[in-house]
Amino acid sequence: VINFPFPSAPDPETLQAAEDRLIKLGALATTTKDGRTEARITPLGRTLSVFPLAPAYAKVIAMANQHDLMPHAILLIAALSVREPMVPISSIRGDTDEDTKEKMTEVLKLRRGWCGK
């Protein structure tokens, strides 16, 4: 990857860090050839490349499939893939300060209800 002719080459340290992560995930394996260490894609890496996900999430899906845990893995990845699903309380605005306070209080009550409190 380091020798790939990128139109705008990324920082070599960033590329090395990405390669290291893929090696730790098992998507790449290192081999030594002519005194040089090379990283080659593994069968797991080929599987991970099929998913339009970050490699770590793709590995969760691949492993979940092997262990009959797919519904749990999909739920977990879906939850981890989104930002805060709630509207920030500080972004709630009313027509007046009192209206804003009432709306914020109502939203807090709803959230506590969802949490079972």
Domain ranges of the chain: 12-80, 87-117
26/42 Cα distance (integer angstroms): 7
pLDDT, greater one: 5 or 116: 5
| Residue 68 predicted with pLDDT over 90 | yes
The topology under which CATH files domain 12-80 is Four Helix Bundle (Hemerythrin (Met), subunit A) (1.20.120)
Residue 74 pLDDT: 95
The tokens of 53 are what? 């996900």
Residue 96 pLDDT: 93
As a whole number, the mean pLDDT across the chain is 91
Q: CA Rg, the chain, in Å?
A: 23
The tokens of 1 are what? 């990857």
Could you tell me which residues come within 8 angstroms of residue 41 by beta carbon, excluding any fewer than 6 positions away? 27, 28, 49
Q: For residue 52, what pLDDT band results from cuts at 50, 70 and 90? A: very high
The helix (H) or strand (E) run that includes residue 98 is helix 97-115
Residue 115 pLDDT: 81
The helix (H) or strand (E) run that includes residue 15 is helix 12-25
| Residue 37 predicted with pLDDT over 90 | no
